[in-house]
Structure 1
Amino acid sequence: ASTWPKGAKVALNFVINYEEGGERCILHGDDASESLLSDIPGAQPLEGERNLNMESLYDYGARSGFWRLHRIFTKRKAPVTVFAVGMALERNPAVCHALKEQHDWEVASHGYRWLDYHSVDEETEREHIQRTIQIHERVFDKRPVGLYQGKPSSNTRRLVVEEKGFKYDSDSYADDLPYWNMEFEAPHLVIPYTLTENDMRFTTPNGYANGEDFARDLKETLRFLVDEGRAGHCKMMSVGLHCRLARPGRAAAVAEFLDFARSYGRDVWICTREQIADHWTENHYPKGAGNPMTTEPGVPVPDLDVKRAGVDDGTEEGPNE
């Protein structure tokens, strides 16, 4: 059965997506303006033109929203994973400095650009992955160990595995627990993300209307998962946040939920995705695959009892238990 440290029932991970500065814009050499994930209803890309309203909304994330979220989590000494776009880091040294100061935060790769890699050729995507690693090494003195491309191509996971330095990727929404992808020579850890417990739903039809909606959904989700954990089925929960959407009423919901989560004490482990990866690798590495720290590259993994095609959660339960 899956378990978490110190008997916790739920592993709770907050993700701050730092994308501002890596979005589409003709000033960045793109052929159109950004159109996604903003407070402009039904926004469409402007071909060959700037969208000044869209640019100012993204500026809000860098100028105000990031710092509001930063204050919420640092005040409460809560760990966070940041999905950081490489170009966005290059364009905001102040944010980089703030991230480097938070030693209990994790900065994961969110690609070099905040764009759809489905239409990007393999060599360009590989180069973007490497470039983002180099940015992290230059800015933070260490490489990222997790990657969430967000809008991945069919090549993304293979490129991540071939790079050999990532502990996990999060380009999946397939489970309430981490699981092992078995398509490659060695098991590769996938830590699923979420599009439901995510403030992006403030920008979607039938999404959140206000902060109360957001807080209520997060509380109901955590309450149910804790009950499942107490019944013997531990789970993880991700909460997705975006700096440009961190307006005061919405951010208040984040603070309220974080305090609510803390009220569960040891039943809720608030952690980074890297901590989840380390725990899962140490405790739920697939049987028969050897020690992940000593398995030599290029050595095929023995045949395993895989519960789903290409997938193994590493536990003795079913994939969703």
Structure 2
Amino acid sequence: MTPSNVNLRPRDLIGYGINPPKVAWPDAARVAVSFVVNFEEGAEYSIADGDSRNEAVYEATERLESVPDYCLQSHYDYGTRAAWWRIMNLLDAHDIKCTVNACGLAVQRSPELAKDAVDRGHEISAHGWRWESHAHLDKSAEQNAIEKTVNAITEATGIPPVGWHTRSSPSSHTRSILMDRDHFIYDSDFYGDDLPVILSRPDGTPYVVLPYAFDTNDMQFHHAPRFVSADDFSDYVSRAFDWLWREGEETPKMMTIGLHLRIIGRPARMWALEKIIEHIKSRGSAWITTRENIARHWLSATDR
């Protein structure tokens, strides 16, 4: 397949259309499944940490705007103190390798968790220096944020990240900055398909865009009245997988399941994660792997 010059800017409203690529996943899998564990705790904005504002997205509904919010802070602390080990042990029990989307400051503050992920065979992808949108960052500020994120991950794990994912919207510069760094082979700043897309760097070499998803994502527990119980999440994700599995008999599909330490890691919600894993495995014909593996396979399979 010839690499596309299509980027999110300008928009491509057609995509693969009626003729999606006939790429074979390993072992004739119908769906490539990517579990993404977002590691953001310690990178959220907090007046108690010296920032000018508090993060507004968390379990409690009350918002404190001008004073330290220790309630918010401890909600995020739960992710690294308790939920990390619960999630990682469950993934180990089912032999699941995930991608950890890690904010640079979170890694700098808890480097032992990043190292633990790599020791378990998971991928660490870059998720910004702070847990913030890049939409309003100027190019020099964004380059600095990306540089600091890469340095923090590399220092903690010894491995520079090959993937990137911005919280919410990237800027108009994000992808070009990433493309200029040879170690990045993909980003996940795209929600417009069920298949990866290959773009061309300025030097003509390929670069992969992997689709991400907000619906098959535990963040919906924070947006009532969407997911309330564990069954809400597991049923929704399982139905999404089943539909892609059906389509995958004819053409490959990719599915992302987004998780957050402080959200899915609560005891009542862990049942959902286990049910999702068991359902996908019972169906069969699924390649559960890291985003790096998916990106590299897509590159090799379409380089013909």
Short-chain TM bin? 0.7 to 0.9
Tell me, in whole angstroms, the C-alpha distance in 2 between the residues paired with 1:234 and 1:137: 33
Residue 117 of structure 1 deviates from its aligned partner by 1.6
The answer for the alignment partner of 1:300 in structure 2 is: none
TM alignment of 1:201-216, pairs within 5 A: 201-216=220-235
Q: Could you tell me whether the CA contact under 8 Å between 2:47 and 2:69 is conserved in 1? A: no
| 1:83-142 residue CA offsets vs partner (Å, 9 max, x unmatched) | 001100111133133213112x10100011111222222111101111111112211111
Q: Which residue of 2 aligns with 1:240?
A: 258
1:47-58 map, 5 Å: 47=66, 49-58=67-76
- The aligned counterpart of 1:10 is 31
Q: Which amino acid aligns with 1:142?
A: I
1:129 pairs with 2:146:
yes
Q: Given the alignment of the two structures, is residue 165 of structure 1 paired with residue 186 of structure 2, yes or no?
A: no
Name the residue aligned to 1:39: 59
CA contact (8 A) 1:81 1:106 kept: yes
Which residues in structure 2 correspond to 1:109-148 (within 5 Å)? 109-148=126-165
Mapped partners of 2:254, 2:64: distance in 1: 36
RMSD of the alignment, in Å?
A: 1.6
Counterpart amino acid of residue 148 in structure 1: H
**5 Å matches for 1:65-144?**
65-103=83-121, 105-144=122-161
Cα distance in 2 between the residues matched to 1:190 and 1:21: 27
Q: What's 1:292 paired with?
A: none
In structure 2, do the counterparts of structure 1 residues 40 and 167 end up closer, same or farther at CA, with 3 Å as the change threshold? same
Aligned residues: 280
Give the residue type in structure 2 aligned to 1:219.
Answer: S
Cα displacement (A) at 1:53: 1.1
- Name structure 2 gaps, 5 residues minimum: 1-21
Gaps of 5+ in 1: 288-321
- Quote the residue 2:199 is aligned against: 181
CA distance in structure 1 between the aligned counterparts of 2:166 and 2:23, rounded to whole angstroms? 27
Q: CA separation in 2, counterparts of 1:111 and 1:143?
A: 14
Shift of 1:271: 0.5
Task: Answer yes or no: is 1:25 the counterpart of 2:43.
Answer: no
- Give the fraction of aligned pairs with identical amino acids, expressed as a percent: 33
**Per-residue deviation at 1:29?**
3.7
2:32–2:286 Cα contact (<8 Å) kept: yes
The residue matched to 2:113 in structure 1 has which SS? helix
- Residues 34 and 45 in structure 1, CA contact (< 8 A), matched pair in contact too: no
Q: Is contact 2:112-2:156 (8 Å) kept?
A: no
Greater Cα offset, 111-120 or 4-13 = 111-120
What TM-score results when the alignment is normalised by the length of structure 2? 0.88
Partners in 2 of 1:107 and 1:221 — Cα distance?
25
From the superposition, tell whether residues 174 and 183 of structure 1 become closer, same or farther in structure 2 (CA, over 3 Å). Answer: farther
Q: Which amino acid in 2 is paired with 1:2?
A: V
Q: TM-score, normalised by structure 1?
A: 0.83
| 2:249 corresponds to 1:227 | no
Distance in 2 of aligned mates of 1:29 and 1:124: 19
Which SS does the other structure have where 1:163 is aligned?
Answer: coil
Deviations 1:206-243 (A, max 9, x none): 3101100001011111111111112x122010000001
Q: CA deviation at 1:165?
A: 1.8
Letter aligned with residue 176 of structure 2: R
Structure 2 residue identity aligned to 1:117? H
